[in-house]
Structure formats: structure tokens, C-alpha cells
Amino acid sequence: MKLYKIKKSNIDNKGLYATKNIKSGKLVINYKGKLITKKETDTNPKFDNDKAIYLFNLNSRYDLDGDFKYNDARLINHSCNPNCEVEGKGLKLWITAIKDIKKGEELSYDYGFGYDEDYKQFVCKCGAKNCVGYIVREGSRWRIKKARSASIRK
């Protein structure tokens, strides 16, 4: 039995929900995709506009394109207070629980987007207490808070 099911999400569109209690550290799902070269990422129009949410940076030469129906893991939403994380070894990626997850909880992980000029394109609706309102990786979120307090002072 799978540890998750696909359901309409409270965060965004569809999401994955735990079908049973999942212990911290457990592998929940493999992230499957197709290996593509950085050159393809740069030239294929598929990866234009939106910052390819399903694109994983593997190393200096390759990315993993996860935008395929068979890749259920692509539906996992970002959260500012996630209960999973992506791990990887070589060209393999998988999603592991980083907290004990209760049956019925939505799975989430930190998408790890950097803080750059178009961060406002990616609004976060995770609803966590610490939500910064945008999908930006944990290590860079202080920049958003700083930008905010700066604009309040003006």
C-alpha cells in the first residue's frame, strides 16, 4: 500500500496526503523524472516562464525534469514548515519524512528556491505560522523579512 494518496490540496491545486502514520526518517516516495542536460534546460521553451517547479538541479551538467504524469511526487506542495525533504544520491531523488506525519496530513517540502528579483512570482499559501508568503528556501527567507521591514520604514 502506498503511503500517500492524491487529493485536492489546501495549499494549492492537488497534493499528496498521508494514508497512514509515517515515522520521521521514512522514505515516502521516489521522485522520478528524466535526465536532461543544462543545455536543454536553457534552450527548451518548456522551461521558460515559470521557474520550472519540477526541475531539479542535480549537478553542473544535468537537471532532472520531473514534469511527468507517472511522477506523483511532483504534486507535493512547498511549505515554509515542511514535514518532508528531498534527498538524493547520484541521479536518484526521493522524499523522506523529517517529522512524524499523521494519517491525513498533507506532505510538503521546501522547494529550495533562491531569493532573486522575481521571488514574488511564487506566492506561498502553505498557511504555516512562519509562512513568509513566498516560495523561498529557508536559508534565504530572512531577506524577505528584511525587505518588508525596510518598506514599512519608508
Chain contacts with Zn ion (rule: CB under 5 A): 80, 124, 126, 131
Q: How far apart are CA 54 and CA 19, in angstroms?
A: 24
When the beta carbons of 52 and 131 are compared against Zn ion, the nearer one is 131
Would you call 88 helix, strand, or coil by DSSP?
A: strand
CB of residue 137 to Zn ion, shortest distance in Å = 12
Bridging pattern class, strands 14-18 and 4-8: antiparallel
Min CB(68)–Zn ion separation in Å: 26
Q: Are 81 and 14 in contact (CB under 8 A)?
A: no
Q: Is the CB of residue 82 less than 8 Å from the CB of residue 108?
A: yes
* 62 vs 112 by CB, closer to Zn ion: 112
CB of 129 to Zn ion, least distance (A): 10
* 20 vs 148, beta carbon nearer Zn ion: 148
